[in-house]
Each structure stands twice: as structure tokens, then as C-alpha cells.
Amino acid sequence: MKTMSLQRSSRRLLPRAMQRHDIMTSCCKSLTSSSFHNNHHQQQQQYPLSTVVVGRSFHSSSFAAAYQEAAYNNDDDNELQTSSSYPPFFPYESSYNPTKPDPDYPSLGPTTKLNLFQSINTALQLALSTDPTTIVFGEDVAFGGVFRTSQNLRSEFGAHRVFNTPLSENGIAGMAIGYASMGGTAIGEIQFADYIFPAMDQIVNEMAKFRYRSGNQWSCGGVTLRAPCGAVGHGGLYHSQSPEAYLCHTPGLVVVMPRGPRCAKGLLLSSVRCKDPVIFLEPKILYRSAVEEVPDADYEIPLGKAEIMQHGTDVTIVGWGAQLRRLQLATDLASKEGISCELIDLRTLLPWDSDTIIRSVKKTGKLIVSHEAPITCGFGAEIAATLQQEC
Amino acid sequence: MILRILNYPSPTTRQCSNRTLVKSATIAASCSSDAAAKTASSIVAHQHHHDRQFSSLPHHLARQNNGMVNVLVKSTKVPRPSLPKINRLKKPLKQEEVTLQHVPSHMSYAGSQRMPITSEMRIVKPGEDTPSGIWPVFRMMDESGNFRKPDFSRHTNVSKIIPPKHHDLLQLQSALTIQYPHFKHHFMSSRLFQPSKNPYPDMPLKKEEEDDAKNTLLRAHRQMIRLRQMDEILHNAQRQGRISFYMTHHGEEAIHMGSASALSPQDVIFAQYREAGLLMWRGFTLDQFCNQCFSNDYDLGKGRQMPIHYGCRALNYQTVSSPLGTQITQAVGAAYKFKLDAMNNKEKEAAISIVYFGEGAASTIDFHSACNFAATLGTPMIFFCRNNGYAISTPAEDQYAGDGIISRAPGYGMAGIRVDGNDVFAVHAAVAEARKLALETSAPVMIEAMTYRQGHHSTSDDSSRYRDVDEVQAAQDVTDPLIRMDKFLSHYGWMDNNAVTSIGDEERAAVLRAMEAAEARPTPTLESMFTDVYHEKPPHLIRQEKELRQHLVKHNIHHH
């Protein structure tokens, strides 16, 4: 488990703000040095994202309002306008906006106790029934899947929609891309995330760049590639890998990892319906061991948004997938010693919700990131680097 | 004593069948008893040495006790790595040899494998008998511009026949059907002989030639010339530093026009990179080609890719990507979508997906996965292999050891046919028939078109370093598809040298106009660098763009 800490004394708030302050005072008349001093005294309060907010102080209580205000204020653009026809920065609301609300679970109606593979099975069922172009395919998918995630789907939806493919991951990925480029929804299954590497050419060179390279003429947003990842104990080198770092290095992809049955169903439905290609990594150790009350309804969890599992004041702990179980145990131990931990589940690894984490770290002043994947160039390094820059 | 000598086939004799070798050995062995005894003793002496070396042989080859002594003769020629051979020419066809009497029985464009020619089109379906030996090449028209007769008899002397009325497609079609009744089905069903209902907008014609605006055959001819001119001018533009990169299509124009004319607009094309002629046929203008090559603000791809990476959704042509072979698996997915669409909606017009690749890309993993997927899932599609003899500098004999790409089709359980890629009519007939078969049986069909890459691989390549100039010259002067088409049209009085030259000049002027217009346009705006990565800009890209703009302002760099 990788441990990182940001001491209050090493906070890097000032240099960046000072840079902006120089530009602002030279260009903008609205800002004065008093607002800059205000920032010092408001270190203890919750800050909106500093890169968006340039030298301004916000007194609004809700983060959403502050974000919108920052998004649509044009004062910052004065410094950047080189010509009068300069396009505005925030012409639309990004669908990866972390201010989108989570589903209101109590209002969703009756729930069933399901484990992870059952909740994913339910999500696939809903995806197949709501979108008639959806197909589910991969190795051994027809009989139910080696982890039983696709059981009963073939008998319900037909052999032409739920079928086996020959043993070729690059074929699965390429076929998903081609199917989605013609307007369909393709849910391909890679049997283990350790075997996603033959498909990396298709994923990195084709899937991620499909929309961009065609000038938005063609897109393969209907692709969702599901793969079980993570250690189980006896898997060894080739049934335990967490390849999220390789995938997160590719702009154009969406990488999602749930931590339990309830969020897995919502995240999978969001991923399937997302207009960008998604790699959905499922921690395989949770397939049977994680059991939760999962609503029967069709609900989606917004992508690009992290979830604060428990609030705290002393340290921010960030994780994803099965690692959160370990982190929960650790926070319980810590709370016995009187340390109040804020535990955050990242949920979407790319594009990741840096706003929530920055806000949390500004509050607590310390950050720990923990993940199963190797430390060097792991995704924790990305979080650490961004936080180092922003806080 | 009868000796059965099993010769290990040496690398040079790889293509001969084992039976002929054994036959020759037994004949040689039975020539004279002295010789037989001599060879027998020397062979037995070798055998002991041989057995020790090749002890891992299957036992049924090593020993067989039925009254005959099976002996293994090790080939004495030890293969040594040799310097790259420049001259792959084996008796190139000369221009003066191509006459009315020249009816070739075999062809080989890249100087290596001689393939038998047939004038009977047979798509070998899975389960049928595959051709014994080398797969034959289906060809309708020879280098002299005359159509072939079925029994390899001499060409008809067309000049003695009254030529049809000037530029009358239907009369030409009926005249050809009478002269060559064995091709009747191809001529009658070929869209090249069907005039279009509406005039083609890209036929720049003089007033007296306005009737030709609906002439499909002349359009194919004109577009081949247009493609040739565009290639020459844009290749030279790269040499002058006006664009960064270019790839020519010299020698493969017949594949483009022949296959594109056999497809329907709803068929989606997955191209590799040397298929711009397909896009041209479908209606991509010279302006649009040049805009992409110059990466200006009018480029449909928003200036993000290298030149020649065209893509057009409106014309159902998928954007080209640089990694080779990745388009082949994607075409399977698209074809599967069409298959499900056809199942759900019977009234909608059926569509296939067609994927083009070279013989080099047929070695990639995606090719093998795609063939397997397509055959097992039963997707209606065409695998079109342009075997042009070279993958950059790698000749075909370094690319594969088998009989081209088409011999793999039965292995995957797929139908297949080999055609002459320099014959527009053969390519058209093969694609039309393959399309029909793919839709009827909901199965993939493979077509291997034999052709020759006359130009360099790209502007970063100098092909004189690895191939003989004479080989290229023969391809340009004799087997060139454009010359073949010109000769055919001149037989019937449709074209002569002056007409061809004037068309060339017209198209050249059009290309130059388009190029100068494209060069004058500005580059795309900075914002287009951050859009389309995702369907909407996520927060981190919004932030990144803002930081970039602040950086530009801070350092006084102006960018629109």
C-alpha cells in the first residue's frame, strides 16, 4: 500500500495564484490585491477548484453553484482575448461534470440482495432489453460466462445477440469497434484483464482515436469492453493484473471500476449508454464475496464523478475497486485511534474526478492513494502529481 | 532392387509438388543398375549420418519394412543468407510481344510466382474442391485490350467488326455479348455497361460531349486518369515541401474503379491507405482530397491526420488509420451489424462491408482473427486483398510461403477467387458476384487481386533500392491498367491518343486548381485540438486548454 502525505507546510498554493495575480492585475480591473489576501484567510474553508477560479474568493455554499459561476464567468477570458471573435470557454455542460447527482437509492423502489456477478448480469439484461442493437459477446459468453456474468442472456435474447467468438481478444475489440461505428451497442468481454494486451492496438490506436481522427464523422461510442481484474490470491501473474494505468494513459477512453454490486449496476448501465468507448474493469474477487441490496430499477451512476464514502477531517484516502475493502478496514482501525478519515471511491478512473479530491485535500491537508497495481507509473502517481500541482 | 528415394525439397524447389520429385528420383534411380548401386551405396552411407541428425523424424518416414528401402537424401545445398536480390525479373513481357496474337497462359506481375490464367470465373465456395496447384487468376481482358476466348484461341480481330456507334454503352454491350458469348453474363450484369440515370457531376465535358455525362465506362476511364494525375501532382508537391507526405496509387487504378462501381452506396468501405480511387468514384472531390492533404480548415478530418488518411461518412468510407490491418476486424463488426439489420428489417436494402488490405497487411494478427470471426459468425462481407508484390521493400516471397493470400480462404472456411487486378472488367465482375454471394449466403468472400505497385511505397521510399527499374518499366508500359483500358476503348473507336491526352490535360488542370485553392486556406483553429477526444470535453481537457491559452498569452504567441 502506497502512502503519501502532503503536509500543510508544503502547500503549493501561492506560486500559481501569484502567476495569475500578475496577469490579472495587469489586465483586469475588477480584481484587487485585497481579494488575493482573502484567499490566505480562507484556507480552512472549502475551495472550489483553483485552476478554474483565478484569484477570486467564493462565498457560495454549494459547490455546484460555484462551479457554474466559474464556468460561465467571462472575466477570466479578458486576459486571454486576442481578438474580438474569441470563442467562449464553456459553451456546454460536460457530461463528465462531477456536479451531477448520484441516483437517490431510497426512491428507486424495491431491492434484491445480489452479489457482483448477479448485479452485472442484471445490468446486461437491462442493457439488452432497452436497446435492441445491443450485443454481448466474447469467449465463453454463450453458456453464461466463466464468472456467470452472462447467464440466461442467450436464452432470453437470442443466439444472434449473445454469442461466443473465437479465441482472439483483438478480434473481440475490433469487432466491437466496427459494430459500434455502424450505430450499434457492443458489449465485448475479455475473459481476464491480463489478456487485454493483444487488444491494445485496437483499444489505443483505434477505439480511443476513432472519433478524433475522423473529425467527429465516425465514432465508436457504443463500445463497452468488460474485463475481470484484480487479485484473488491464487491467480498468480496472469489472473490477477490491474491494467488500469496502461488504459488511463490513453486519451479518448473511459475507464471505470466499481467497488460493489450496487454501484456496478449503475456504472455498467452508464458505461453502456455512454457516447464514448468504455473499458469496464470488474474486481473478480468481489464476484461472489460482495453482496449488497441492489435496486431492481434501471438507474445510472454518472461517470467522471467520485463518491465520498465517509466524511472525515484528518486525512483523505483515495482508492478504487476491491482495494476499498482494505481501506475501509484501515479507516476503522484509524478511527479507533481518533483519526478521522475521508474515504473516497474514484469510480471513474478516466476522466477522473479531480475536483472532489482537491476539495477534500484542501480540507484535510493530507492524501493517501492506495491501489493493487504496481506503484511505479501506477494511477496513484497521476493523482499525486495533480494534487501536488493544485494544492 | 527398387529404391524409393524421398528427396527433401530444397528451398528453390519449394513450389514443386512432392510427387514430381519422387517421380524424377525413381526414374533416375532406375536408369542403370550401376548408377543405382553407386547411388545406393552412397545413399546408405549418408543414411547413417542422416538418421542421427534427423532422429526426430516421424517414424513412418524413417523406416519402412515392406521390401523397399526408403532412404532419405539430404540436400547438399546448404542455404546461406544472400544479399538482397535486386533483379527479380524472369522474362518480363515486352511491349512488342503484346499483339493480337498474344494470348498468355500464365502471368506474374511481381516477377515471382507464375500463375495460370483462366477466363472462367469460379468463386471457390467452402467445401468445394480447391484448385490443385496454384490458384488460377480470372481475367477477362488481356494486355492488348482484347477480351479472352474460353479455349485460349486467338483474340478476335476486332478491327474487322463494325464498331458500335460512338460512345453508345448499350450498343457496345450488345456487340461484346455477341463477340464473346461466354462472357455474356458478366457483360449483361456489369454496371460498367449500364448508363446512369442522372448525369455524373464530375464529368467536365464540352458541349458536344454532353451525352457522355451518363456513360459509366467513360467515367471509370476518366477517373483513372484523374487519379493518376492527382497522384503525380501531389507526389511532386510533397517533393517541393508543400505537403508533408503522400502515397501514390500507380498501377492499382483498375482495382479502385472496378470494385467501387460494383458496390452500392450503402456498402461501407474499410480501406487501408491505397484506395483513394474508391472514394473518388463515390464522389469525393479533388478539393476535398487536397484539403485533407494540406490539413486546412476545410478538411473533414479537421486537420488531425497525416495526408492521404481520408474518411467521409457521407460516402460511407471509414477514416483511414495508419496501423495496418486494424480495419479488417472492424469490418467484421460492421458486417455483423448489417446482418442483424437484415434479420430485423427485411424491407431495407441489404448492405455488405468490404475491407481492403495489401498482401503485407494479410500477415497481421487482425487479418487472421477477422477471417476466423467472419467465417464462424457468418458475416456478409468481402475481404479484398490487393496483392501488389511489395510491402514497402519486402517482396511477396518474403511475406508468405504459401500460394498467395487466397489459398488461406478455404482454410478459414471462406469462399474465394483470385482475379487480375489490372483488368477493370474482371475486378468488377468478381466483386459483383462476390457481393451477391455474400448477401445470399450471409458469409464472407475473399478476393485476391494480383497487381503491381508501380510507384514507391510513399514519398519516404525510394523503390529503386530494392527492385529493378526494368521490372517497373514493364509494369508501366505493358501491364498498366490504364494502357489496357485505352487500348480496349480505341479498338471500338471510343478513344484515341489525342482524346486521352486532352482528358489528361483537363484533369491535370483541375487538380492544380484544387491544390492551389487548398494551399491558400488557413489551418484549423486551436480549439479543434481539444474537441472530439470525447463526445463532450471533460473537465481536465477544458482545464488543459485554458492553461495552453494562458501560456500563449503570457508569451505573446498569437494563434487563431
pLDDT score for B206? 79
Q: Using the beta-carbon criterion (under 8 Å), do A96 and B538 form an inter-chain contact?
A: yes
Phi, psi of B395 (to 5 degrees): -75, 165
- Would the pLDDT of A136 be above 80? yes
* pLDDT at A285 > cutoff 90: yes
Percentage, residues of chain A above pLDDT 90: 74
- Mean pLDDT score across all residues of chain B: 86
pLDDT of B41 over the 80 cut: no
Residue B309 contacts A where some CB pair is shorter than 8 Å: yes
Q: Which of B385, B389, B358 is nearest to B468 (CA)?
A: B389
CA distance A329 to chain B (A): 32
> Mind listing the pLDDT tens digit for each residue in A207-242?
999 999 999 999 999 999 999 999 999 999 999 999
Nearest CA in chain B to A96: B538
Would you call A178 and B334 a contact, using CB atoms and an 8 Å cutoff? yes
Looking at every residue in chain A, the average pLDDT score rounds to: 83
Give the residue from A323, A346, A336, A383 showing the smallest Cα distance to A1. A323
CA distance A333 to chain B (A): 35
Residue A374 has pLDDT above 80, yes or no: yes
- Given a cut of 60, is residue B144 above it in pLDDT? yes
- Asked if the model's pLDDT at residue B250 lies above 80, the reply is yes
Nearest to A80 among B532, B537, B553 (CB): B553
Burial B94-126 (b: 16+ CB within 10 A, else e): eeeebebeebbeebbbbbebebebbbebebbbb
Residue type, A198: P
Is the CB of residue B542 less than 8 Å away from at least one CB of chain A? yes
- Of the CA atoms within 13 Å of residue B344, those in its CB half-sphere come to 11
Cell numbers that stand for B256 in this block: 479502385
B247 vs B242: CA distance, rounded Å: 14
- Between CA B171 and CA B271 the distance in angstroms is 35
**CA distances in angstroms from B134 to B17, B107, B360, listed in the order given:** 11, 12, 19
pLDDT at B73: 55
Residues A139-170 have pLDDT tens digits of: 999 999 999 999 999 999 999 999 999 999 99
pLDDT tens digits, A173-190: 999 999 999 999 999 999
- Here the ipTM equals 0.83
Residue A94 is predicted with a pLDDT of 62
Query: Long-range contacts for B158-163 (Cβ within 8 Å, ≥24 apart)?
Result: B158/B491, B158/B492, B159/B491, B163/B491, B163/B492, B163/B493
Q: CA nearest A203 in B: which residue? A: B326
| Strand pairing class (A341-345; A315-319) | parallel
Q: Is A169 a catalytic residue?
A: yes
- By CA distance, what is A135's nearest residue in B? B337
Region A75-82: mean pLDDT is 41
Among the residue ranges B77-91, B173-187, B416-430, the one predicted with the least confidence is B77-91
Residues of B in Cβ contact (< 8 Å) with A170: 329, 365-366, 369
Band the pLDDT of B79: cuts 50, 70, 90. Answer: low
CB count within 10 Å of CB B441 equals: 14
pLDDT band per the 50, 70, 90 thresholds, residue B239? very high
pLDDT band at A46 (very low <50, low <70, confident <90, very high): very low
Question: What mean pLDDT do residues B498-519 have?
Answer: 97
Measured between CB atoms, does A41 come within 8 Å of chain B? no
Inter-chain Cβ pairs, chain A and chain B, closer than 8 A: 197
| Strand ranges of the sheet holding B137-138, from the earlier edge strand across to the other edge | B106-107, B115-118, B137-138, B415-420, B444-450, B381-387, B353-358, B268-270
- Sign of the dihedral defined by the CA atoms of residues B330, A220, B246, A199, in that order: negative
pLDDT per residue over B5-37, tens digit each? 444 444 444 444 444 444 444 444 444 445 444
Record: contact B330-A178, CB cut-off 8 A: yes
* Grid cell at residue B526: 486551436
**Mean local confidence (pLDDT), A75-103:** 53
Model pLDDT for residues B347-396, shown as the tens digit of each residue: 888 999 999 999 999 999 999 999 999 999 999 999 999 999 999 999 99
pLDDT in tens, B422-433: 999 999 999 999
Is-contact B30 B24, C-beta < 8 A? no
A21, A139, A169, A342: which is the annotated catalytic residue? Answer: A169
Res A62 pLDDT > 80: no
B164 has pLDDT over 80: no
CA of B331 to nearest chain A CA: how many angstroms apart? 6
Helix (H, G, I), strand (E, B) or coil at B161: coil
| pLDDT of A279 above 80 | yes
Task: Map residue B194 onto helix, strand or coil.
Answer: coil
What is residue B38's predicted lDDT score, i.e. its pLDDT?
A: 52
Q: Cα separation of B234 and B112, whole Å? A: 31
B189 pLDDT more than 70: yes
Quick check: B402 pLDDT over 60? yes
Percent of chain B whose predicted confidence (pLDDT) is above 70: 83
Which pLDDT does position A281 carry in this prediction? 98
Read off the pLDDT of residues B86-105 as tens digits, 9 standing for 90 and up.
445 566 778 877 876 778 88
Residue among A87, A166, A214 whose CB faces B311 most closely: A214
A43-68 average pLDDT score = 38
Selection from A11-15, A248-252, B206-210 with the highest mean pLDDT: A248-252
For A95, the closest chain B residue by CA position comes to: B536
User: Cβ A180–B333 below 8 Å, yes or no?
Assistant: yes
B interface mutation test: which of A63, A187, A214 has the most B CBs within 10 A?
A: A214
CB atoms within 10 A of CB A123: 28
End-to-end CA distance of chain A: 23
pLDDT at position B163 is 75
3-state secondary structure of B434: helix
Of residues B246, B84, B269, B339, the one with CA closest to residue A184: B339
pLDDT of residue A41: 41
B531 vs A206, B295, B302, B525, CA distance in Å?
A: 17, 16, 10, 11
User: Which B positions 233-292 lie with beta carbon below 8 A of chain A?
Assistant: 268, 270
User: Which pLDDT belongs to residue B71?
Assistant: 53
Alpha helices in A237-322 (DSSP H): 244-248, 261-273, 286-289
Chain A residues whose beta carbon lies within 8 Å of the beta carbon of residue B340:
133, 135, 160-161, 184
Rounded distance, CA B330 to CA B342, Å? Answer: 19
Task: From chain B, pick out residues whose CB is under 8 angstroms from the CB of A198.
Answer: 365
Assess contact for A276 and A254: CB atoms under 8 A: yes
Query: Can you tell me whether residue A43 is helix, strand or coil?
Result: coil
Closest CA to A221 of A230, A212, A234, A211: A211
For residues A28 and A80, the answer to whether their CB atoms sit within 8 Å is no
Rounded to an integer, the average pLDDT of B529-552 is: 93
Peptide bond into A103 cis (omega under 30): no
C-alpha to C-alpha distances, A92 to A49, A72, A95, A96, A251, nearest whole angstrom = 18, 10, 9, 11, 20
Taking alpha carbons only, the member of B326, B448, B444, B446 closest to residue B375 is: B444
